[in-house]
Structure 1
């Protein structure tokens, strides 16, 4: 067992001083309960981690180990999720580590202006993620762009028939994609009007996310916590209104800490947020 003086300080998030306690059984990376380090009205939630795993060189090696990385990310997210129930934190990048409490306080001092600005912007708010997928643009799911798939028995008998069938399939795919884009655009516009801020993320790569279908919309919305129920109902209602748009699937995730809104107002990431469990 390592000497506590040799441990490093793993920082999960920055927030205002907590006015409510975290769950007594909450543990973070390495099974260690997080604690608060405060400096001039800002608080960092930290946990002790061993030098043998989190010094620069071993950490670089660990970050190539997908199992280690997944376990650490789950522990990190567990602390952020618990923190989000009692405050509106600014999550830091996975494996943000300092030598000791003095280093953490120096980080709070150096970044105080930005931290205060971001915390003011996200105060009382949570993030909701909304994704739209087009499941059947190629017809493999039974329908193509809103129309029934051609029966297998309708095989082309001539080269001309083959070309005609290919044009028909391409037209159906294009029409389906246009309908999906239109739906996603309308949904984003509607949800943006009912949120304090919104971010459009790059579409997810299905090969990496393993989510079925083609990702048409991948967006995040900053919503007052007190209005979250109305926001969820709005998403559900919009989905019902588009019931006739076949092949589309809408996924709602959250509420999260405001991962997508800790950068500047242009939407550029400041590099300090981590990926949520839904992969956004």
Structure 2
């Protein structure tokens, strides 16, 4: 969308979907503020763009730029966008658009997608029948120390000297526990990826807390989600011995696996 003001109607784009019937949209959520009920804009056989009419003056580049400085403005619209996208999680394929994607007309919206048809079809083939799950593993030094002390207490040292030696061993081991935790967490990521079609590791952002030892996105077939959750539950008990907490979140639209579409 170009800069400056727009007048009249504009098109808000939510996502590209495959295998969605128009009557499904009767149950769709409200969508962005002041937007019309969503509808399907045909792109190709079986592939549609989910769109809504919006007031062009309320979604001009100048308005969006100003709105991005207002956390409440951003939050409401981003949440409404995500709610609409998530409504199509069980579509044959779902390729989400970025929030605040605006076109001047249906023709412009259709042309935008068709100009990228090869990459769009590649994304649909890649993510079809899948959703995205996220996993984060964080290290807690105190939890690691408590777990080691619990293991040591179960061994019941025979003498006072042995007890003091064991305490020193625990202290020394705790100092290297984060490295060990990161190695275990990395192996758990591979285990979680077993039922996934694809996965990618997400490097920690600069300045992120050192407690984060692993983060990944998983592209999981609809019928493999229960298996993923089962593996995660088993892994939590193992990770607790190393002071690591596993957070599994999802399902989400496959943002990480549809980039470039």
Alignment match, 1:232: 229
Runs of 4+ in 1 over 6 A off after TM superposition: none
Deviations 1:157-197 (A, max 9, x none): xxxxxxxxxxx999555412112102211111212233111
Gap regions ≥5 residues in structure 2: 1-6, 150-168
1:30 is paired with a residue whose SS is coil
Alignment match, 1:108: 113
Alignment match, 1:36: 40
Alignment match, 1:258: 254
- CA positional deviation for 1:134: 1.1
User: Do residues 84 (structure 1) and 89 (structure 2) align?
Assistant: yes
* Distance in 2 separating the partners of 1:236 and 1:25: 33
* Distance in 2 separating the partners of 1:82 and 1:204: 30
Aligned length: 234
* Distance in 2 separating the partners of 1:182 and 1:143: 14
Describe the shift of the 1:242–1:214 C-alpha distance in structure 2 as closer, same or farther (beyond 3 A). Answer: closer
Of the structure 1 ranges 169-178 and 97-106, higher mean CA displacement relative to structure 2 is found in 169-178
Describe the shift of the 1:74–1:16 C-alpha distance in structure 2 as closer, same or farther (beyond 3 A). Answer: same
Describe the shift of the 1:204–1:169 C-alpha distance in structure 2 as closer, same or farther (beyond 3 A). Answer: farther
Alignment match, 2:156: none
Q: What is the TM-score with the length of structure 2 in the denominator? A: 0.80
Alignment match, 2:241: 244
Q: What is the TM-score with the length of structure 1 in the denominator? A: 0.75
Gap regions ≥5 residues in structure 1: 149-167, 264-269, 273-280
* Distance in 2 separating the partners of 1:124 and 1:130: 20
Higher helix share: 2
Alignment match, 1:70: 75
Describe the shift of the 1:188–1:256 C-alpha distance in structure 2 as closer, same or farther (beyond 3 A). Answer: same
Deviations 1:44-64 (A, max 9, x none): 111122222211111111112
Deviations 1:19-61 (A, max 9, x none): 3613525210015321111122221111122222211111111
* Distance in 1 separating the partners of 2:244 and 2:213: 9
User: Do residues 48 (structure 1) and 53 (structure 2) align?
Assistant: yes
Contact 1:118-1:262 at 8 Å conserved across structures:
yes
Contact 1:132-1:248 at 8 Å conserved across structures:
yes
